[in-house]
Amino acid sequence: MIVVLPNFLTTSTSNDLAYSDFMASVRDGEVESVDIDNTNGDIDGTRTDGTEFSTTGPLDGGIPEADLATLREQSVEVEYKTPTPGFLVSLLPFLIPVAIFVGFFWFMQRRAQSQMGGVMSIGRSKAKTYSEERPGTTFADVAGYEGVKEEVTEVIDFLKNPTRFAEIGARIPKGILLVGPPGTGKTLIARAVAGEAGVPFLSVTGSDFMEMFVGVGASRVRDLFQSARKMGKAIIFVDEIDSIGRKRGAGVGGGHDEREQTLNQMLSEMDGFEATEGIVIIAATNRPDILDPALLRPGRFDRQVVVPLPEVSERVHILEVHSKSKRMAPDVDLNVVARGTPGMSGADLSNLVNEAALFAVRDGKDQISQHHFELARDRVLMGARRDSMALAHREKEAIAYHEGGHAVAAAVLTHADPVHKVTILPMGMALGVTQQLPMDDRHIYRQDYIEDSLVVRMGGRIAEDLVFGVISTGANNDLVGSTELARRMVREWGMSERVGPMAWGSQGAVFLGDDLMQTRDYSDETARVIDEEVERILRQQEQRCRETLTEHRNALDLVARALLEHETIDGPEVYRLVELGRQGRTAVEEFGQWQASDGRGECSGAFGAAHVDTEATGE
Spatial separation of the C-alpha atoms in residues 106 and 117, rounded to whole Å = 16
Spatial separation of the C-alpha atoms in residues 380 and 341, rounded to whole Å = 10
Nearest to 206 by CA among 286, 268, 145, 130: 286
Find all residues with CB under 8 Å of 520, minimum gap 6, and list them: 527
Instruction: Assign 9 to helix, strand or coil.
Output: helix
Q: Which amino acid is at 510?
A: V
Q: What is the DSSP letter of 208?
A: G
Do residues 200 and 230 lie in contact, with contact meaning Cβ atoms separated by under 8 Å? no
Do residues 408 and 416 lie in contact, with contact meaning Cβ atoms separated by under 8 Å? no
Q: Where are the beta strands (DSSP E) in 18-58?
A: 31-37, 42-47, 52-56
Let me know if 403 is a catalytic residue.
yes
Spatial separation of the C-alpha atoms in residues 244 and 68, rounded to whole Å = 98
Residue 571 half-sphere exposure toward CB, CA atoms < 13 A: 12
Instruction: Assign 286 to helix, strand or coil.
Output: coil
Tell how strand 234-239 and strand 433-436 pair up.
unpaired
Q: Identify any residues that bridge with 56 across adjacent strands, giving them in sequence order.
A: 42
**H helical segments located in 274-322:** 293-296, 312-322
Tell me the C-alpha to C-alpha distance, in Å, between residue 233 and each of 89, 197, 198, 603: 65, 11, 9, 84
CB atoms within 10 A of CB 251: 16
Q: Identify any residues that bridge with 603 across adjacent strands, giving them in sequence order.
A: 594
Do residues 346 and 318 lie in contact, with contact meaning Cβ atoms separated by under 8 Å? yes
- Measured at the CA of 78, the angle between CA 72 and CA 82, to 5 degrees, comes to 145
Spatial separation of the C-alpha atoms in residues 126 and 224, rounded to whole Å = 8
Q: Report the interhelical angle of 393-412 vs 553-566 (nearest 10°).
A: 130
Q: Which amino acid is at 468?
A: F
Q: Give backbone dihedrals phi and psi of 472, rounded to 5 degrees, phi first.
A: -130, 180
Spatial separation of the C-alpha atoms in residues 581 and 476, rounded to whole Å = 28
Q: Which residue is catalytic, options 240, 314, 403, 533?
A: 403
CB atoms within 10 A of CB 182: 10
Q: Give backbone dihedrals phi and psi of 446, rounded to 5 degrees, phi first.
A: -75, 160
Q: Give the residue numbers marked as catalytic.
A: 403
